């Protein structure tokens, strides 16, 4: 369990007889926090309308599959951008049409604004394979099975029983699993929808047309950005990496809520500055979250990644980001701002 800071109730807002209560805790833990005292929860209205409902007709039509296949015929869904045909060639990421998953779990992840979440964990190795990856070995070790429609009913069961905020695709790299996920999306229970935002946590895509597909079912993008490009399993120049991140973030923030998640590695303050400065023109459209690098205890890494980042460095990074006018997705007072449009329109629980 990796614990940063803890907050209790952060907003308690009364509107007539209605009371909306928000809790937040930037807790990173695979232990279900539900059932504990002071559960970190962001509560959205029960009648929340996920974006997938707007695209029902398109998703169920043959056009959806045709358009998706067209884009994936020269796949540049992940940072490798290999350009293979996902429907006939062997992809270097090892992905096929089958999306392997582990059973959904409830989790409080890094960004409190979408906590707690039902996570649908991807159970496959990731082509990006950062040396600093902290993928939880106990999830990785679970037996994984191809995704099927049954997972939606399991997800709904959790949503019915627990005060979860969102449904997240997470772990490894969901962009590489797009073909299988597209099939899964077509099995969404439109007749009895799960009224939670769908959160897509991935590295930036090279081909921006990927987001045309994702926009049909994703409510919130969490774009995973690193603070060093040396950690990837394939070479990318840092400037080029920043350019790819900015392009993707500009695209997804056109019409969706976006959290830019920056993994803060030790000694990478200047690189984070590069990225933050390059995103300045989007500061009114995005939230940033700074994720602490914790050295994976089971890995033997060279300097500077042989130790976790210090709180001093984190404070310096967060102060810089705030000075530049960005809002942090991990700060309690920003929960309401993040969901303001939804809460104002419909009234919270």
**Among the residue ranges 15-23, 76-84, 238-246, 325-333, the one whose residues contact ligand SF4 (CB under 6 A):** 76-84
**Binds ligand SF4 by CB under 6 A, chosen from 42, 43, 71, 86:** 86
What is the C-alpha to C-alpha distance for residues 95 and 98, in angstroms, rounded to an integer? 7
- Contacting residue, 24, 80, 220, 263, with ligand SF4 by CB under 6 A: 80
CB of 38 to ligand SF4, least distance (A): 40
Based on the shown chain and the rule CB under 6 A, indicate whether residue 278 belongs to the binding site for ligand SF4.
no
Is 257 a binding residue for ligand SF4 by CB under 6 A? The answer is no
Smallest gap from Cβ 240 to ligand SF4, in A, equals 15
CB of 263 to ligand SF4, least distance (A): 20
Contact 30, 107 (CB under 8 A): yes
Binders of ligand SF4 in range 116-155 (CB under 6 A): 127
Cβ-based nearer residue to ligand SF4, 185 or 327: 185
Q: Shortest gap between Cβ of 87 and ligand SF4 (angstroms)?
A: 11
Question: Least separation, in Å, of the C-beta of 92 and ligand SF4?
Answer: 5
User: How many Å separate Cα 216 from the centre of its chain?
Assistant: 16
**75 lies in the site for ligand SF4, by CB under 6 A:** yes
Span from 24-32, 61-69, 85-93, 240-248 in contact with ligand SF4 (CB under 6 A): 85-93
Residue 234 tokens read as: 């394939």
Whole-angstrom Cα Rg for the chain: 19
- What minimum distance in Å lies between the beta carbon of 177 and ligand SF4? 8
Among 27, 43, 71, 76, binds ligand SF4 (CB under 6 A): 76
- As a whole number of angstroms, the distance between CA 112 and CA 120 comes to 18
Q: What are phi and psi of 223, to 5 degrees?
A: -95, 115
Sign of the torsion formed by the C-alpha atoms of 342, 52, 188 and 329? negative
Phi first, then psi, for residue 219 (nearest 5°) are -95, -40
Contact with ligand SF4 (CB under 6 A): which of 22, 28, 41, 95? 95
For ligand SF4, which is the closer residue by CB, 160 or 237?
237
Which long-range CB contacts under 8 A does 223-226 form with residues at least 24 apart? 223/248, 223/249, 223/252, 223/258, 223/259, 223/260, 223/261, 224/261, 224/263, 225/260, 225/261, 225/262, 225/263, 225/275, 226/130, 226/262, 226/263, 226/265
Interface with ligand SF4, residue 176, by CB under 6 A: yes
Q: Which one, 41 or 71, has the nearer CB to ligand SF4?
A: 71
Q: What is d(CA 36, CA 243) in angstroms, rounded to the nearest whole number?
A: 42
Beta carbon of residue 199, minimum distance to ligand SF4 (angstroms, whole number): 20
Cα–Cα distance, 56 to 216 (Å, whole number): 8
In degrees and rounded to multiples of 5, residue 266 shows phi and psi of -60, 140
Q: Shortest Cβ distance from residue 200 to ligand SF4 (Å)? A: 14
Nearer to ligand SF4, 190 or 234 (CB): 234
Provide the H-helix boundaries in the chain.
56-60, 62-72, 137-140, 150-161, 178-186, 210-214, 238-252, 269-278, 311-323, 335-346
Q: Which residues form the interface with ligand SF4 (CB under 6 A)?
A: 75-78, 80-82, 84, 86, 91-93, 95, 127, 176
């Amino acid at each position: 369990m990796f614990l940063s800071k803890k907050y209790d109730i952060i907003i308690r807002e009364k509107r007539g007889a209605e009371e909306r209560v928000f809790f937040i805790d930037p807790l990173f833990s695979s232990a279900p926090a539900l059932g504990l005292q002071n559960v970190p929860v962001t509560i959205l209205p029960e009648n929340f309308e996920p974006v997938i409902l707007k695209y029902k007709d398109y998703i169920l039509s043959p056009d959806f599959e045709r358009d998706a296949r067209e884009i994936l015929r020269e796949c540049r869904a992940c940072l490798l951008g290999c350009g293979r045909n996902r429907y006939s060639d062997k992809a270097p990421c090892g992905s096929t049409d089958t999306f392997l998953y582990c059973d959904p779990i409830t989790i409080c992840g890094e960004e409190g604004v979408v906590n707690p979440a039902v996570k649908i964990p991807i159970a496959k190795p990731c082509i990006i394979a950062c040396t600093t990856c902290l993928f939880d070995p106990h999830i990785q070790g679970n037996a994984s099975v191809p995704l099927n429609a049954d997972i939606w009913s399991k997800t709904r069961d959790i949503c019915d029983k627990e005060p979860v905020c969102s449904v997240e695709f997470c772990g490894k790299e969901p962009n590489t699993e797009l073909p299988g996920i597209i099939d899964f999306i077509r099995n969404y229970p439109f007749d009895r929808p799960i009224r939670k935002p769908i959160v897509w946590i991935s590295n930036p895509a090279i081909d921006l047309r990927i987001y045309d597909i994702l926009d049909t079912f994703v409510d919130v993008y969490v774009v995973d950005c690193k603070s060093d490009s040396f950690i990837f399993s394939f070479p990318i120049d840092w400037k080029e990496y920043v350019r790819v991140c900015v392009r993707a973030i500009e695209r997804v923030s056109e019409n969706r809520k976006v959290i830019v998640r920056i993994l803060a590695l030790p000694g990478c303050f200047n690189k984070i500055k590069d990225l933050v400065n390059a995103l300045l023109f989007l500061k009114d459209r995005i939230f940033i979250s700074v994720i602490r690098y914790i050295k994976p205890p089971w890995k033997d890494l060279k300097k500077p990644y042989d130790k976790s980042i210090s709180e001093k460095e984190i404070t310096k990074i967060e102060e810089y980001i705030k000075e530049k006018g960005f809002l942090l997705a991990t700060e309690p007072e920003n929960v309401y701002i993040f969901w303001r449009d939804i809460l104002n329109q419909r009234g919270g629980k």
